[in-house]
Amino acid sequence: MARAGRQAEELTPRSARAESVRDIALRYAGERGPLLEILHATQREHGHVADEDVVEIADVLNLSVAEVHGTVSFYHDFRRTARPDHVVQICRAEACQAVGGADLYTSAQELFAHREDVEVREVFCFGNCALGPSASIDGRLRARTTLDDIAAAESGWSR
Amino acid sequence: MTASGRGCIAWVPQDSSARAVGADEVAAALSAIDRVTVRRNGTRGMLWREPLVEVETERGRVGYANVTADDIPALVEAGMLAGAPPRATPGGAEDDHARRSVEYVGIVDDDPWLTAQDRVSLARIGLAEPTDITAYEAQGGWAGLRRALELDPEDVVEEVVTSGLRGRGGAGFPTGVKWRTVLQAESDLKFVACNLDEGDSGTFADRILAEADPFTLLEGMTIAAVTVGATEGFIYCRSEYPDAIERLRDAIAVATEHGYLGDDVAGSGRAFRLQVRVGAGAYICGEETSMLESLEGRRGEVRAKPPIPALQGLWRSPTVVNNLLSFAAIPMILAEGGEAYAARGVGRSRGTQIFQLAGNIARGGVYEAPLGISLRELVEDIGGGTRSGRPVRAVQVGGPLGAYLPADRLEVPMGYEELAEAGGMLGHGGVVVFDEGVDMARMARFAMEFCSVESCGKCTPCRIGSTRGVETIDAITATPAGAPGRDQLFVLLEDLCATMTTGSLCAMGGLTPVPVRSALTHFPEDFEGSPR
């Protein structure tokens, strides 16, 4: 999905993106409190919520750009720049820390420090607290995760 | 490989924790076998045993725990499809978490870990396919809704008041009182909102129930709606729970198709439309007024109360806001009566609580028991002590804003008042165990750091106090004992804690000092700073 989003962004004219975001916003505009739905859908479709998207969405919802920007920037999930090829999320909350989650996070950061196409993010809780440490690699949740598990997943990625 | 002549039904949980330890691969391996039908249930809640495969036999469902896809050929060879025990694996006694050997559970319904529980809200988890509405009905589903539709709304509220049910999301406010307020509010438009933004570390019962038995939540919310006169409802689910979101959306579609949701709820002529809304990774949106702001499409900043959401909630209309577990208790309360629920519990803590055993624990999972069970029973007898095998040093109860209790204080009964007296809080029923390897100064620092990352920023004590808290704890642990100025750092930290406690708008800033102070009180030796 991320790759597709990226390619779309690179290969299609900018106005096509604006068009698409406007369509998304219009699709949800009639619902109650549609802004988060629109932002999620925009990110699903385009990989992130760009500044130009914010302008389109604000226009459709008759909100100020500042209001939409304020919402986008408040939430950890919304990205304002393109997503890297791989995202490793590691839980740093207490239950996972009790079984080494904090150290796993640090080690994973070191493991991928030289990789620009990989992002290591902290997350607070996947609800997998009985089987920690928990990590999600490209959207797939893993339990009792070790650094070896993460390295093994990496070896499956095409470079 | 063939099963017995009539074929075989194998159950493999589709719960996200089970999937995280390979349940999908196990299901695929079993599906590839001739005459085996794989069905996907929710988890039974025995998470340390996942993937827990159950095979239907004449004796009942026979369980095999910690199964991997690679184990399937040998298990089938040994007669798994007829419920036979696995052959002993050579040299495999070690319980290394990377390679767990298969455990023969026998008849799962007879397992002592399950039979010792008093499952009310969790009564149906793991038994059927989560969106099998026929199975839900056969197991007693919709009986609570039918009774609620026969009663006057005042009488439904009375049942909930009688049950003594207090909000299971953490605050513990009486649910019936809240519903009565919404019922009596004059408005053409009312809402019901389920708070499924369960962001507390060590709590996952909402997720498990949503994934395993979504109709129980839908039934509880529908009862609330027809009682107070709400026509629209929202389930606000955190984005970290994609499986729960999908399952709930499926369940809403099935329930609507069968007439339990929509324009004519169960033939009553009353309308209730329900939808799932997805959060965007903000812990604070688990606070009810932040959740309302987020549902309306804004930054999830806390609202000052009053007005209370029961009178002015979503879009300034009267709104029932409850946690998933509170709604999930409702169908039973209506079906069997409030008295039956109130008969369980301790003191002013009535009914059952779903405890979540997590962290460094041997048998982690969800355990439903009457309120009043001791923390020691939960950690040691039921949870089996630590997973590492080292002694328990600290237990955090009630989520990241709950106190750390030392190993010698575990006799406390798990009730709202009882825990408060012991300096803790019940919260959402999470129990997170730490072994002796834990550094409590690091955990105290983390409590402040978490608050600084997740604060909504609306009030100064929380936004700035938490950042100063991190700095002060860093300064303490970097200063050798006896060094000049060190005592003042403790005074400063206590000052920050007092300001946050009394000056914050909501529980986030107000309770962050709880884990910090408990760490200082019970584990002062960990703050004997040598630079780390």
CA distances from B216 to B122, B130, B283 (A): 9, 10, 25
- What sign does the CA torsion over B89, B91, B93, B97 have? negative
DSSP-derived letter for residue A77 is T
Residues of B in contact with A39 (CB under 8 A): 280
Q: Do B450 and A39 touch (CB under 8 A)?
A: no
Q: What DSSP string describes B493-531?
A: HHHHHHHHHHH-SSHHHHHTHHHHHHHHHH-GGGGS---
Cβ separation of A142 and B20 shorter than 8 Å?
yes
B136 touches chain A (CB under 8 A): no
Q: Model confidence over B15-51: pLDDT tens digits?
A: 999 999 999 999 999 999 999 999 999 999 999 999 9
Burial class for B463, CB neighbours closer than 10 Å (0-12, 13-18, 19+) = middle
The pLDDT, as a whole number, for residue B93 is: 47
Percent of chain B with pLDDT over 90: 87
Report residue B2's pLDDT band, with 50, 70 and 90 as the boundaries: very low
| Minimum CA–CA partner of B365 in chain A | A130
Is the Cβ pair B446, A97 closer than 8 Å? yes
Shortest Cα–Cα distance, B113 to chain A (Å)? 16
Size of interface A-B (CB pairs under 8 A): 157
Strand partners, B209: none
Inter-chain residue contact A36 with B280, CB threshold 8 Å: yes
Q: What is the DSSP string of A85-99?
A: SEEEEEE-SHHHHTT
> What is the pLDDT at residue B6?
66
Over residues B130-170, the pLDDT tens digits come to 999 999 999 999 999 999 999 999 999 999 999 999 988 77
Q: What span, in angstroms and rounded, lies between the C-alpha atoms of B96 and A115?
A: 31
Q: What is the ipTM of this complex?
A: 0.93
Structure tokens at B527: 């703050």
pLDDT band at B423, cuts 50/70/90?
confident
Tell me how far apart the alpha carbons of residues B59 and B83 are, in angstroms, rounded to a whole number: 9
- B68–A contact, CB cutoff 8 A: no
Of B240, B388, B456, the CB nearest to A127: B240
A125: tokens are: 């809780």
The C-alpha of A49 sits at a distance from chain B's nearest C-alpha, in angstroms, of: 13
The answer to whether the CB atoms of A74 and B282 lie below 8 A apart is yes
In sequence order, which residues have a C-beta less than 8 Å from that of residue A125 and are 6 or more positions away?
A91, A93, A95, A96, B199, B200, B201, B240
Instruction: Provide mean pLDDT across the span B380-401.
Output: 96
User: What size, in residues, is chain A?
Assistant: 159
**Chain A residues within 8 A of B201 when measuring between CB atoms:** 91, 93-96, 124-125, 129
CB contact under 8 A, A123 and B432: no
- Residue B358 has its nearest CB partner, among A36, A77, A129, at A129
CA distance B370 to B377: 13
- Predicted TM-score (pTM) of the model is 0.94
Residues within 8 A of B (CB atoms), A 97-126 only: 97-99, 102, 123-126
pLDDT given at position A15: 82
Strand, coil or helix: what is B406? strand
Nearest to B202 among A67, A129, A143 (CB): A129
| pLDDT by position in tens, chain A (length 159) | 444 555 555 555 568 999 999 999 999 999 999 999 999 999 999 999 999 999 999 999 999 999 999 999 999 999 999 999 999 999 999 999 999 999 999 999 999 999 999 999 999 999 999 999 999 999 999 999 999 999 999 999 975
CB contact under 8 A, B294 and A36: yes
Q: Omega of the bond prior to B484 within 30 degrees of 0, cis?
A: no
Which positions 220-279 of B are in contact with A (Cβ < 8 Å)?
232, 239-242, 277-279
pLDDT of residue B90 exceeding 60, the answer is no
